[in-house]
């Protein structure tokens, strides 16, 4: 009973585990509706908040574009091919690690180009430099029911924006469509004391301290020591650390939509509205041209690690990620473990292992005959043959096995016509030999031959009948 209970519980547990795995690996066919309040800005997302259309456009136009699936600390690893431009579209789902911000700043100082497209970029993505910093302020936040594919709702009351000045980032761009929820980028000049204390950047010290958001940044001063002799080649002045506002909007909530500035030997480009590059808004006005100018022509990598699509060490699992194949392997592993556990566990009382008889019947007969011959036990040989013959003769005469020799001989003689006295004498001599009367090997062989002759003549051969009965049982 205990063994059956264990088997029943094992089957129940295995069925429960398989059902749980099937429920966990269930893939929803219908796509869930996306809202602007909780967007998915991944290049793998084909929904209205994703950036798959922009990524595919860059691919189709021959740009060197890829997806970055590792933490930012691997940007500075030796032997790894590093991108020239890293694009981070926010908000991200995976927070930035403590060691990622220093690695990102080091990559920028060595000549990297960071493109940040977000309404609320974090300070690790907009580092201060040279006494200047850029802050983002969102005038209106999307509600929980705002659908990104509703153009009327996303752009209600929003004017088309034109570039503030001709720069490479707004080349061939006449007008840009932003959403109602775009961030206003403010360029702020930090106090000289803050620059001295924090040691921000390597640019020239600021000459004006200004925190007013409406005060435009001053033009960069010419660098001292430049040779203005026409015959001499002038030295190129270092780039100004002051941020450049490429698209600026005034009104009630003034601010820039697109800003870039120098950081070491690299640059940081900030676009304050992901709607411009999203699948729902990239086809509005000249948004596509602006997005293509922002990312540039060099090797471009879109950050997918912080969107939850980081690559794993095992390429096989990475290939089947997001499909039920991995869960199928898990179910197969559960079944294999269950089989191994049941095969290695005893569910009943212990039984001795069967010992097959490796000898045939003829080998057994030959062995017994040899033993009897060596022991001169001829009486046992006669007993083996006579006992079965006597029982067959009694059955032939219709008598019980306990009948006397004379009764059996008379009844067999009456039915078969044989000599009753001779059959009686043969049976008597066999019984005397079985009882211990002296018997030679020659006489024992003669008695056995006579008994077999009687069986053959009367048609009562025990061995042939047993064979026929065995064949009948096997056929039935």
pLDDT at site 467: 58
Decide: 55 and 302 in contact? Cβ < 8 Å: yes
- Band (pLDDT 50/70/90 cuts) for residue 212 is very low
Report the chain's mean pLDDT, rounded to a whole number: 81
Token code pair at residue 291: 């997005």
Q: Given a cut of 70, is residue 399 above it in pLDDT?
A: yes
Mean pLDDT of 351-365: 72
CA-closest candidate to residue 389, choices 408, 406, 371: 408
Cα 225 from Cα 235, distance rounded (Å): 9
Q: Given a cut of 70, is residue 127 above it in pLDDT?
A: yes
The better pLDDT of the pair 177, 22 is held by: 177
- Band (pLDDT 50/70/90 cuts) for residue 471 is low
Cα 256 from Cα 246, distance rounded (Å): 7
Cα 140 from Cα 305, distance rounded (Å): 28
**Which tens digits make up the pLDDT trace of 311-338?**
655 556 656 666 677 777 778 888 888 7
The better pLDDT of the pair 249, 12 is held by: 249
Mean pLDDT of 450-463: 80
**Which tens digits make up the pLDDT trace of 411-424?**
888 888 888 898 89
pLDDT at site 305: 92
Residue with tokens 């026409």: 230
User: Is the four-CA dihedral 415, 417, 420, 425 of positive or negative sign?
Assistant: negative
| H or E element, residue 387 | helix 378-397
Mean pLDDT of 381-405: 87
- Band (pLDDT 50/70/90 cuts) for residue 55 is very high
Taking residue 203's Cβ as centre, other Cβ atoms within 10 Å add up to: 21
What is the residue-wise DSSP string for 445-457?
HHHHHHHHHHHHH
**Residues 6 or more apart whose Cβ sits within 8 Å of residue 371:** 377
Percentage of the chain surpassing pLDDT 70? 78
- ∠ Cα 61 64 65 (to 5°): 95
pTM of the entire structure?
A: 0.58
Q: Locate the DSSP E strands across 91-205.
A: 113-117, 132-138, 183-189
């Amino acid at each position: 009973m205990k063994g059956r209970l264990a088997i029943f519980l094992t089957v129940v547990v295995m069925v429960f585990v398989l059902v749980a795995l099937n429920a966990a690996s269930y893939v929803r066919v219908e796509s869930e509706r996306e809202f602007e309040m909780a967007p998915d800005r991944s290049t793998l997302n084909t929904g209205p908040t994703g950036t798959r259309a922009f990524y595919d456009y860059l691919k189709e136009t021959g740009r060197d574009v890829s997806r970055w699936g590792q933490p930012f600390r691997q940007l500075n690893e030796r032997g790894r091919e590093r991108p020239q431009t890293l694009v981070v579209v926010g908000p991200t789902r995976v927070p930035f690690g403590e060691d990622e911000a220093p690695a990102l700043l080091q990559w920028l100082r060595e000549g990297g180009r960071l493109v940040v497209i977000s309404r609320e970029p974090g300070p690790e993505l907009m580092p201060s430099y040279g006494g200047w910093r850029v802050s983002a302020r969102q005038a209106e936040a999307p509600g929980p029911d705002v659908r990104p594919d509703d153009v009327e709702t996303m752009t209600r009351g929003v004017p088309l924006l034109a570039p503030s000045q001709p720069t490479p980032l707004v080349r061939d761009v006449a007008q840009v469509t932003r959403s109602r929820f775009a961030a206003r980028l403010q360029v702020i000049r930090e106090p000289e004391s803050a620059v001295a204390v924090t040691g921000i950047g390597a640019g020239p010290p600021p000459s004006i301290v200004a925190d007013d958001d409406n005060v435009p940044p001053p033009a960069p001063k010419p660098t001292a020591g430049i040779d203005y002799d026409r015959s001499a080649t002038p030295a190129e002045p270092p780039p100004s650390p002051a941020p450049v506002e490429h698209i600026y909007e005034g009104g009630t909530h003034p601010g820039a939509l697109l800003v870039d500035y120098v950081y070491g030997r690299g640059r940081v480009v900030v676009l304050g509205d992901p709607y411009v590059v999203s699948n729902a808004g990239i086809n509005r006005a000249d948004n596509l041209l602006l997005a293509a100018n922002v990312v540039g022509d060099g090797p471009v990598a879109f950050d997918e690690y912080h969107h939850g699509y980081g690559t794993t060490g095992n390429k096989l699992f990475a290939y089947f990620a997001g499909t039920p194949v991995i869960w199928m392997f898990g179910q197969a592993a559960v079944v294999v473990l269950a089989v191994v556990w049941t095969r290695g566990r005893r569910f009943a009382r212990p039984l001795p292992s069967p010992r097959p008889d490796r000898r045939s019947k003829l080998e057994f007969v030959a062995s017994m005959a040899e033993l009897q011959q060596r022991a001169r036990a001829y009486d046992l040989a006669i007993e083996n043959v006579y006992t079965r013959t006597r029982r067959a003769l009694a059955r032939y005469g219709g008598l019980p096995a306990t009948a006397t020799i004379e009764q059996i001989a008379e009844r067999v003689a009456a039915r078969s016509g044989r000599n009753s006295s001779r059959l009686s004498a043969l049976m008597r001599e066999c019984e005397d030999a079985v009882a211990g009367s002296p018997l030679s090997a020659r006489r024992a062989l003669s008695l056995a031959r006579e008994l077999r002759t009687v069986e053959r003549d009367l048609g009562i051969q025990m061995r042939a009948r047993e064979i026929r009965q065995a064949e009948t049982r096997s056929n039935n």
